[in-house]
Amino acid sequence: MTDLLDPPASLPPVQDAPAPSAARPPINRRLPAHPVVAIVGATGAVGIELIESLTARDFPVARLKLLASARSAGLRLPFRGREIVVEELTEDSFEGVDVAFFSAGATISRRFVPLAVKAGAVVVDNSSAFRMDPGVPLIVPEVNAPAMAAHEGIIANPNCVAAILTVALAPLAQAARIRRLNVATYQAASGAGAAAMEELRAATGAYLDGQPFTPKVLPHPYAFNFFSHNADVDPDTGYNGEEDKVVAETRRIMGRPDLPVGITCIRVPVLRAHGMAVNVEFDRPISLEEARQLIGVAPGLRLVDDRVGNHFPMPVEATGQEAVLVGRLREDLGDPSGRSLALFIVGDQLLKGAALNAVQIAETLLPR
C-alpha cells in the first residue's frame, strides 16, 4: 500500500511528547481495556479505513492519535462525531501509546516501528517490513491467532491477497490437508494506493470522453484494461514481487513452509475488491456439500454460490463488506482423483486485506 504521503490528512501536533526513556519498558503482550491508539499513515487509503474500522467495530479507544507526514500535519479527520487533527510523525510520537497501527510503507516502518515498541506500544504493521521476520508473528486471526501469543511488540499484517486467500481456505484446511494450491488473482486499484484509485477514475472518464490519458501511477493504461501486476519481475523466475509475497506469506500463515503454490497476479480495473480463482488439491476428496457447509459457518466468510441464478462473488458486492465472499464451488475436472476443488473468492482489499484485519488483531489483544 501507499504511505503517509497519500491524500491530504494529517493532524497538527497536540503536544510535544517527552523523549522516550532509555530503558525499554517490558513488552505488553495484551492491551488495556481502553487503549491509546495511534495510526501512522492516517491520511492514506488504509489509514482512512483504519479510522472507519475502529468506529464500525466499536473498538474501545481511550484516545486516538493520527500521524502522517509534515505536509499533512494540521489536517482534520472525522472520528466518532468529532474531528482529530493530524500530527506530524516524529521520533517522539509514541509516548503513552498502547497500540500503533502502521500503514505508511516499509521504509517508514523500519525506521519508526522500533521506536514505537521502545516507547511501550504494541505495533500492528501493514507494510512488508517484518512479515517474513521469524521473530514477528504474521497473523490472520481466523487462521492463526495463537501465533501472536509470543509477540515481542510487533505483529505483522499480511499482504492483502494472502489475508483474503487464507481466511477463505482456513475451514477447508481444517477438514483436510491441502496438498497444492493454484491461484489467479484479479487485483483492484486500491492495492496500489489512493493515487492508483484516482488514476483509474480519471482514466475511465477520459476513455469514455474519447480523450487521451497518460498513466503516471501504473505502467499501463488502466481503464477497460488489465495487465500483469505492476510489481517488479524477477528475470530468472518470471514471477513478480507480488506473486513471491503471496506464496511466502500464505505458507507462513498456514504453517506450511513447503506447500506447493502456483500463482499469477493480475491488476484489473476495479477500485477496491480483489478476486481470486483458486484450485485446491486435498489429501482426500471433499464433497461440494461438505465444502459449502464448512464455508457457510466459518467466521469471516459468506457463501455466495447460486448456480441457478448464476450469482457468485463479485467486487461490487464485496466492497465495503467485512466478510470475504466465497463461491463458484466445483469439482476440478482436471483431477480424476476427485481430491481437487475450484472456487472463487472476493474480498475488500482495504478491509480484510488491510485495515479490518489489523483491527481484528488488536481486538484479540484486548482483555477477554
Please write the tens of the pLDDT for every residue from 228-255.
999 999 999 999 999 999 999 999 999 9
Residues 302 and 318: their CA atoms lie apart, in Å, by 10
Distance between CA 135 and CA 130 in Å, rounded? 9
Q: Mutual orientation of helices 160-175 and 288-297 as an angle, nearest 10°?
A: 120
Confidence of residue 312 (pLDDT cuts 50, 70, 90): very high
pLDDT at position 313 is 98
Asked if residues 66 and 86 have their Cβ atoms less than 8 Å apart, the reply is yes
Burial of 80 (0-12, 13-18, 19+ CB in 10 A): exposed
| Residues that are catalytic | 160, 274
Other residues' Cβ atoms within 10 Å of the Cβ of residue 198 = 15
3-state secondary structure 271-312: CCEEEEEEEEEECCCCCHHHHHHHHHHCCCEEECCECCCCEC
User: Which of 354, 191, 179 is CA-nearest to residue 279?
Assistant: 179
The pLDDT score that the predictor gives to residue 150 is 87
Rg (C-alpha) for the chain, rounded Å, is 21
Count how many Cα atoms sit within 13 Å of the Cα of residue 102 in the half-sphere of its side chain. 34
Across the range 112-141, mean pLDDT stands at: 97
Label residue 29 by pLDDT band (50, 70, 90).
confident
| DSSP one-letter code for 225 | -
Answer yes or no: are the C-beta atoms of 316 and 188 closer than 8 Å.
Answer: no
pLDDT at 368 over 50: yes
| pTM for this prediction | 0.91
Q: Name which of 101, 118, 96 is nearest 66 in CA terms.
A: 101
192, 242 contact by CB (below 8 A): no
What sections of 3-140 are H helices per DSSP? Answer: 45-56, 106-118
Sheet of strand 273-282, all strands in order from the earlier edge strand to the far edge: 227-228, 261-267, 178-187, 273-282, 340-348, 324-331, 301-303
Q: Which residues pair with 267 in a beta bridge?
A: 187, 227
Instruction: Evaluate if residue 8 carries a pLDDT over 90.
Output: no
CB atoms within 10 A of CB 88: 18
Taking alpha carbons only, the member of 249, 253, 278, 248 closest to residue 264 is 278
Residue 28 contacts by C-beta under 8 Å, 6 or more apart in sequence?
Answer: 98, 120, 122, 153
Check if the beta carbon of residue 160 is closer than 8 Å to that of residue 274: yes
pLDDT band at 25 (very low <50, low <70, confident <90, very high): low
The answer to whether the Cα torsion of 167, 168, 174, 177 is positive or negative is: negative
Which pLDDT band holds residue 16 (cuts at 50, 70, 90)?
Answer: very low
Give residue 107's identity as a one-letter amino acid code.
Answer: T
Enumerate residues 6+ apart whose C-beta is below 8 A from 208. Answer: none
Per residue in 171-188, pLDDT (tens digit) is 999 999 999 999 999 999
**267 pLDDT exceeds 70?**
yes
Residue that has been written with the C-alpha cell 484516482 in this structure: 198
User: Which helix (DSSP H) or strand (DSSP E) does residue 124 occupy?
Assistant: strand 122-125
pLDDT digits 0-9 by tens, 70-80: 999 999 999 99
Q: Where are the beta strands (DSSP E) in 12-108?
A: 36-40, 63-68, 76-79, 82-85, 87-88, 99-102
